Amino acid sequence: MKQNPSIITIGLSPAWDITCRGQNLNWGRHKNIDEQTIIPAGKALNISKALAWLGQKNIAAGLWGNEDYRQMQKTVKSLWPLIKVKMTAVSGRTRCNVTVVDAAEKKEMHLRSKSELAAPQALRQLKADLQPLVRKNSICVFAGAMPEGKLLGDVLKIVDFCRKAGAKIVLDTSGPALRKIVETGKIWIIKPNVRELSEPAGRQIKDNPADLSHAGAKLLDKVEIVLISRGENGAVVVTKEGIWQGKCAARVKVISTVGCGDYLLAGFLKGLVESENAAFALETAIKIATAKAGGRVENERLPDISKLYETNIHRIK
């Protein structure tokens, strides 16, 4: 993995993230907010941004509405120059998601709209646009919500194309898409949270290292690495070579949890690219996710990762 492979993030459900921050934001009141940000996002693009923050060049692919494509392209180019935008422009406007943060009460509200960009023609065009990008040893990260029913069959064809082209497949989604894609086998990495891990397992998994390790190990005939996000409890990584758990040992003031799972995966990928060592990658992942939760942003210079936070990483098996 040390040959610095091409990393391509692929999102079918992108969004503009609108974040409003204020104090004592109660229902029925008119209140001035302290800050509002509007940035192109979605899980796949968030992973691209996190990788760029870590100094890792990458390609952002997937779907984006043609009505606001140029606005997205201009914003990404100015804020994250290490990202090469190769999105497929499709009919329509990209959805908006709204997050309201009450700093005084330490509360968040997330308002999500449904993405309607994925359609048969759009997915066919996406597959065609990926053909010149995907090559042997590429890393294709499929992240975010995916369509169900017949459209999911089109998504499976895209995943299969990338795999046959020699790419490693990384999956960060949930629901039927997670289960169906995992069932195809030969997946390199999946990154479920505790709830999402219960879906392919077919039962509720308890949030403790023993149960998570056992559930993750059952997927190793189809997946090489299972990275399980546990929120403030850190993460567990399960491989055939061993199982590790880790969390941040420092006390960090949490500003927002939005996107922390995306940064966890980006940090893990960066660690694997650098070292091919799952324990080192887990340490990097937790540090970067914690930095995101602590309010560091992508346009802030990232300090030496090794000096960010103290972490507790130890082998379970």
pTM: 0.91
Written as tens digits, the pLDDT of the chain (317 aa) is 555 789 999 999 999 999 898 998 888 888 898 989 899 999 999 999 999 999 999 999 999 999 999 999 999 999 999 999 999 999 999 999 998 988 888 788 889 888 889 999 999 999 999 999 999 999 999 999 999 889 999 999 999 999 999 999 999 999 999 999 999 999 999 999 999 998 777 778 999 999 999 999 999 999 999 999 998 899 999 999 999 999 887 777 777 777 899 999 999 999 999 998 999 999 999 999 988 888 776 656 666 676 777 888 989 88
Task: State the Cα–Cα distance between residues 55 and 73, nearest whole angstrom.
Answer: 19
Region for 234 from its dihedrals, namely left if φ exceeds 0, alpha if ψ lies in -120 to 50, beta otherwise: left
Find the angle CA(114)-CA(60)-CA(238) to the nearest 5 degrees: 85
Helix ranges, the chain (H): 43-53, 69-79, 120-130, 150-164, 175-183, 194-201, 209-217, 260-275, 278-293
Token couple for 257: 């949890």
Task: State the Cα–Cα distance between residues 201 and 45, nearest whole angstrom.
Answer: 28
CATH class of 7-315: alpha beta
Return the residue matching tokens 């008119």.
30
Domain map of the chain by residue range? 7-315
